[in-house]
Structures are given as structure tokens and as C-alpha cells.
Amino acid sequence: MITQRTDDPEKAARWLRAGDCVAFPTETVYGLGANALNADAVAKIFEAKGRPADNPLIVHVASVEQVEQVAQNLSSAAWALLRAFSPGPLTCVVHKRDDVPEVTTAGLDTVGVRIPSLPVAQAFLTACAVPVAAPSANQSGRPSPTTWEAVRYDLDGRIRGILIGPQSPTGIESTVIDTTTRPPVVLRPGAVSVEEARRVVPDLTIADSVEQEKRSPGTRHRHYAPDATVELASAAEAVPGAEAAFLGLNAPTQSGSWGHVVLARDLPDYAARLYAALRQFDAEDLARIVCEPVEPTGLGRALMDRLRRAAGHASGETPSDAAAEADEAP
């Protein structure tokens, strides 16, 4: 298969409506989309990515009005969150309609729904005129792609096409909130902070068990991981080396040389540059990547979740804890 590229959302939508997989940009990461109501098309996503079939997909639509194409019996919390943060990096887990195929939801009776804000994503989804199931557009286990070039590197020859757009400005996947429970539960921290969401739903809680997280797209099977070993260490603790890279907010202080140092301006810049930096360090054949931890509040909660998973640790655990299993979804 020859993977075609276009910057025309209408052309990319025609490929998708024909039953093919199409990668497209969002404000979080690039997604790999297929018609969410076409089981055969959705199955191509799993084949292209090498994604485990027990991992549910997020369904993307162009507007709040379209949510009920795949969802039913939405709670007041779901409507409040969707109206407050959509379009944007929020996924609400809601009760699915009966005509949503099991392959899309991994057999669950719920579905995650999101409305991306990036203009090219909006144009693409509007042109598709069907709900679009999409995890991140990478081979399963790799860092999520934030550029179309990263998509091409992972999936060239595996999918019909790539809709070319800008680098994803947020760089961290959406926040996933299960609104079918009382109280609603944050299943995956993301670009909408817990603190922001609680201003809309004050009784919001955070998942405290693996069983809760299994209801979320993007929290099964280890992912976010480059080929290099990822370590978490402060700027003062980071051990330099010619084979090592450092990524963080503050310059490392120990004497010695580094293979590559990337310093972010602030927390949003750190999040936006994370996946691209991990991929760049792999391309440079660096053996170690040292990432500086941040305070796990606000956006830092989501960033620390991704850093811990990249380092092979379960979300919420310290670097000495057991390895996590997760997979990606925009």
C-alpha cells in the first residue's frame, strides 16, 4: 500500500468515507481515524498500529450536537463538561448507542467522545460527516506523534493517507472522564487539568484502581516509550553522558557532557515538546533519556503521568514501582 499525503481535509475525508484509515492532526497529537460505525474500517486501525483489540477507541466528532450519533442517556455532568471544554482536549466516557460496533469500544457498553479544536481537524471531521474512531497515529507502544512526519515514520505503507497539518500545539493527549458514574471519575489526566474540570463538576474524583482505568481509551498496554531507557531525575541529580539526553525545565548541574539537552520555556512548552523530543533522541541513537520531574498539579499531573509511563512505571507511582501497561489515544 502506498500511503498518500494531502493538505486538503475534503480529500482526506473521501478516503475515510471509502472505508480506509486516515491520519489527521489534532491539538493534542495526530490521530489515526476510521469510520467509527464501520467495523471493518475500525479493524484496520488495530491492524495498522499493532494495537491490542481489548483497547477501546475515542470517537471524534465535529460538534456537541453530533455526540448523540454515538452516545445516549448522557448525564448532566457529561453535558456540562462537553459544553465547558469542547471543542478541546477533553474526552467524556458515556453510554454508547447500540449501533456502535464492539470493535470500536472493545466490547464495553461505553464510548469515549471528543471534539477536537484544531481548525484542520474540525474541517476534516465536518467533511467526514460520520463519527471518527481514532487512537494516536503511531505504532503501538511508540511515543505519540505530534507531526505528520512522525506518522509517516511509523505508519508509511500501512494506511491509506495522511492529512498534513501543523505540529500539535498541546502535545499531551486529552483528559478522559467517565461520566457514567456518580461521581464522575478522571480515568486519564490530560490537557484539561483536574482543577479546571472540578470548577464545572465539583465532586469529580480520580481513578484509584486498574479496573477503573480499564474503562478508558489510552490506559492499557505500555506506551509513550522510546527505544532508549527513560530515567526521571532532577536537574541536580541527572548523571551526564555522551550517550545520554536531558529534557526538562532547568539546566542539569553535574559536570560532564551530554549527547543532547532540550530545555523547555515553561510547563506547556515541556508538554508540547515531550513526544517530539523522545523521538528525536531515538533518531540520534542515544541510549539514555533523563527527564526532569515536575509538580503533579494542573498540567503537571498529565505530564508526570506520561513521563512515568515512558519510564516504564504505572501512572501515579514512583520511579521504583512496577511497570505500567497502557496504549495511546488522542
Residue that terminates a domain, selected from 154, 183, 213: 213
Residue 193 marked in a binding site: no
Q: Residue 54: what pLDDT?
A: 79
Specify if 140 maps to a domain.
yes
Q: Residue 320: what pLDDT?
A: 30
Which cell goes with 71? 452516545
Sign of CA dihedral 29, 139, 107, 211: negative
Pairwise pLDDT comparison (232 vs 207), residue with the higher score: 232
Name every residue whose Cβ is closer than 8 Å to that of residue 39 and which is 6 or more positions away in sequence.
101, 102, 103, 104
Residue 209 marked in a binding site: no
Q: Residue 15: what pLDDT?
A: 98
Residue that terminates a domain, selected from 188, 213, 238: 213
Q: Residue 96: what pLDDT?
A: 97
Q: Residue 317: what pLDDT?
A: 40
Residue 114 marked in a binding site: yes
Residue that terminates a domain, selected from 187, 213, 239: 213
Query: What's the total number of domains in the chain?
Result: 2
Residue 134 marked in a binding site: yes
Specify if 328 maps to a domain.
no
Name every residue whose Cβ is closer than 8 Å to that of residue 184 and which is 6 or more positions away in sequence.
75, 77, 78, 81, 177, 178, 201, 203, 204, 205
Residue 75 marked in a binding site: no
List the CATH number of the domain containing 121: 3.90.870.10
Residue 188 marked in a binding site: yes
Torsion angles phi and psi, residue 126, rounded to 5: -65, -45
Which cell goes with 43? 479493524
Residue of 11, 107, 128 lying closest to 61 (CA atoms): 128
Cβ atoms of residues 113 and 16 within 8 Å: no
The boundaries of the domain holding residue 305 are 229-310
Which cell goes with 298? 494542573
Which cell goes with 51? 494495537
Residue 28 marked in a binding site: yes
- Is the same domain home to 128 and 29? yes
Residue 38 marked in a binding site: no
- Is the same domain home to 70 and 188? yes
pLDDT tens-digit readout, 71-118: 999 999 999 999 999 999 999 999 999 999 999 999 999 999 999 999
Q: Fill in the amino acid letter for 137.
A: A
Task: Judge whether residue 288 has pLDDT over 50.
Answer: yes
Residue 136 marked in a binding site: yes
Q: Residue 330: what pLDDT?
A: 81
Residue 55 marked in a binding site: yes
DSSP-assigned letters across all residues of 44-81: HHHHHHT--TTS--EEE-SSGGGGGGTB-S--HHHHHH
Residue 255 marked in a binding site: no
Residue of 162, 153, 143, 65 lying closest to 328 (CA atoms): 143
Percent of the chain with pLDDT over 70: 90
Cβ atoms of residues 140 and 50 within 8 Å: yes
Specify if 156 maps to a domain.
yes
DSSP H helical segments within 108-228, as ranges? 119-128, 148-155, 194-200, 210-213
- Is the same domain home to 192 and 248? no
Q: Residue 312: what pLDDT?
A: 86
List the CATH number of the domain containing 263: 3.40.50
Q: Fill in the amino acid letter for 155.
A: L
